[in-house]
């Protein structure tokens, strides 16, 4: 395809920005309204039923994102998800993965900053999904809390999702991975499943504009954690995730 034909298919900047504004408005309104419904419905449902409702929320958001912003995604490596329940580490560069995680990983709880649980309705829904809320300034006590709650969730059959950087990072950048996931995997004899993606390029952590295209998600080979130093586990997971996110 020549440059002229390619340019003819590329949405105009003003159109793309308008679509991004429409999507953002829908995202906020849908999340608030669905949060009310989810909170009420969850009172009658077990965890797996609540998680199924969370997946509906995510599917609708990603469908509207595709319609308004021409932004889709594809997943490679689903067959690498091991049987049983383990720990997933997901690159954190966008708000996209906080939505898409519900569709990428089997029924799970995730580790997040406790301030998110204070949001009316949304925070209540997060609690009903049994998320592990962390005081990021809590130091060793916060790590102990994650280990205690994480072992309980794993024993109950759920996966656990970590965003190991703790905050959204611009594309191509990273920071030291938190140690909690590696410690938990080693002590609970679970595998670490690394997940890389390039969503930060299309849905930046700041600003309204979403770029058109296809987000690429890659699920890696599980990493054995039992009997290993958590620092070595983290180094292996981070090297794989960052390398594949850049590609």
Mean pLDDT by 10 residues, the chain (247 residues): 46 88 96 90 92 97 98 97 97 96 96 83 84 82 92 96 94 92 96 97 92 97 95 96 90
Q: If you count DSSP H runs as helices and E runs as strands, how many of each does the chain have, helices first?
A: 9, 7
For residue 3, what pLDDT is reported? Answer: 41
Confidence (pLDDT) at 127 = 87
How far apart CA 60 and CA 217 sit, in angstroms, is 19
Tokens of residue 81, six digits: 């998800």
Quickly count: other Cβ atoms within 10 Å of residue 203's Cβ.
22
What residue has token string 């580790």? 111
In angstroms, the CA 169 to CA 164 distance is: 11
Residue 196's φ and ψ, nearest 5 degrees, are: -110, 155
Using DSSP, state whether 74 is helix, strand or coil. strand
Q: At what angle do helices 180-188 and 140-155 cross, to 10 degrees?
A: 40
């Amino acid at each position: 395809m020549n440059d002229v034909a390619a340019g003819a298919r590329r949405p105009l900047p003003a159109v793309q920005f308008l679509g991004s504004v429409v999507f953002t408005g829908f995202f906020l309104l849908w999340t608030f309204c669905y949060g009310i419904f989810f909170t009420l419905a969850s009172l009658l449902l077990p965890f797996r039923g609540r998680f199924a409702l969370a997946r509906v929320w995510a599917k609708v958001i990603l469908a509207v994102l595709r319609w308004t912003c021409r932004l889709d995604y594809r997943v490679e490596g689903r067959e690498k998800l091991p049987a049983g329940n383990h720990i997933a580490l997901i690159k954190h560069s966008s708000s996209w993965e906080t939505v898409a995680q519900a569709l990428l990983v089997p029924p799970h709880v995730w580790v997040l900053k406790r301030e998110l649980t204070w949001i009316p309705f949304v925070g209540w829904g997060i609690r009903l999904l049994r998320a592990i809320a962390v005081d990021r300034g809590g130091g060793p006590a916060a790590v102990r809390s994650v280990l205690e709650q994480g072992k309980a969730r794993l024993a109950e059959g759920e996966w656990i999702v970590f965003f190991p950087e703790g905050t959204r990072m611009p594309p191509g950048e990273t920071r030291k991975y938190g140690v909690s996931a590696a410690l938990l995997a080693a002590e609970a004899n679970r595998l670490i499943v690394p997940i890389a993606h390039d969503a930060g390029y299309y849905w930046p952590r700041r600003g309204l504009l979403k770029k058109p295209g296809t987000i690429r998600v890659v699920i890696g080979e599980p990493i054995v954690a039992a009997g290993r130093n958590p620092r070595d586990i983290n180094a292996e997971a981070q090297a794989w995730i960052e390398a594949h996110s850049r590609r």
